[in-house]
Amino acid sequence: QSALTQPASVSGSPGQSITISCTGTSSDIGDYNYVSWYQQHPGKAPKLMIYDVTNRPSGVSNRFSGSKSGNTASLTISGLQPEDEADYYCSSYTSSITLVFGGGTKLTVL
Amino acid sequence: QLQLQESGPGLVKPSETLSLTCTVSGDSIRSTRYYWGWIRQPPGKGLEWIETIYYSGSTYYNPSLKSRVTISIDMSKNQFSLRLSSVTAADTAVYYCVTSTFSNFDAFDVWGQGTVVTVSP
């Protein structure tokens, strides 16, 4: 299975909004609403930020939102804050009953 | 509160078998709510899903690792385990045990702290 495609890096200034894309195929993102997004700070375990494309776990800021169109899912962070600087990973369920991750995107808050 | 804790050797020799255990606390591993899984992260690289098991014994594997991995559940100890055979330096990584309280196959909201495994002679 091929990894989902994410941009290597994105950046934004405090208060701005950014969007991270995650592109898959019709065998994963395109066919299922089982896309998750994780935030990982250096040396820490990943934290679930979005699941089932649009749902936020309890305790996750509503500045984080998810969406999907065709084979591409997106994570939008509004009102960027310094603590949002981290690596972000998407994942998707696949038609083979497996999971596949994206390569990760490094978010820099300028 | 559901918690996971990995344990196992931090150093494994090439060609040998890596064995890790994840101890579950805060709920029963027999619960029908959870899928239990393993994810790893090589140094400086991204996340890689390894395998998942359901309490019933149903197992799901990353195709690229399927020939070398085994996942099992020990209900008496409230633990589940990973075995990865014929390891090489490419298997050096932080290994996380994970689960989802949303009863999802994915969407892991509970993670262990991670355990570093180095493959070296």
What is residue B106's predicted lDDT score, i.e. its pLDDT? 86
| pLDDT score at B57 | 84
pLDDT at A63 (0 to 100): 98
Q: What pLDDT, on the 0 to 100 scale, is given for residue B33? A: 87
Number of A–B residue contacts, CB under 8 Å = 67
What pLDDT shows up at residue A107? 98
Look at residue B103 in the predicted model and tell me its pLDDT.
78
Closest in B46, B60, B64 to A101, CB measured = B46
Q: What is the pLDDT of residues B65-102, one digit of tens each?
A: 999 999 999 999 999 999 999 999 999 999 999 999 88
Per-residue confidence (pLDDT) for residue A95, from 0 to 100:
94
Scanning every residue of chain A, which has its alpha carbon at the shortest distance from the alpha carbon of B97?
Answer: A45
Nearest CA in chain B to A55: B107
Question: Tell me, what's the pLDDT at B55?
Answer: 82
> At A83, is the pLDDT very low, low, confident or very high (cuts 50, 70, 90)?
very high
Q: What distance in Å separates the CA atoms of residue A48 and residue B69, rounded to the nearest whole number?
A: 25
CA distance readout (Å), B107 to A13, A54, B59: 29, 12, 17
Question: Rounded distance, CA A93 to CA A100, Å?
Answer: 7
Is residue B111 within 8 angstroms of chain A, CB to CB? yes
In this structure, are residues A6 and A22 in contact, taking their beta carbons and an 8 Å threshold?
yes
A51 shares contact with chain B (CB less than 8 Å): yes
pLDDT in tens, A18-65: 999 999 999 999 999 999 999 999 999 999 999 999 999 999 999 999
Strands of A13-79, DSSP E: 18-23, 35-40, 47-50, 64-69, 72-77
Report pLDDT for B9.
96
How far B4 CA sits from the closest chain A CA (Å)?
12
Interchain proximity B47–A34, CB inside 8 Å: no
Tell me if A51 and B109 make a contact (CB, 8 A cut-off): yes
Whether A1 shows a pLDDT value over 80: the answer reads no
Contact B49 A3 (CB under 8 A): no
Mean model confidence pLDDT for chain B: 94
Give the pLDDT score at B95. Answer: 98
**Chain B closest CA to A102's CA: distance in Å?**
8
Q: What is the pLDDT of residues B101-118, one digit of tens each?
A: 887 888 999 999 999 999
| Distance between A11 CA and the closest CA of chain B, angstroms | 19
Whether residues B112 and A45 touch (CB distance < 8 A) is answered with: yes
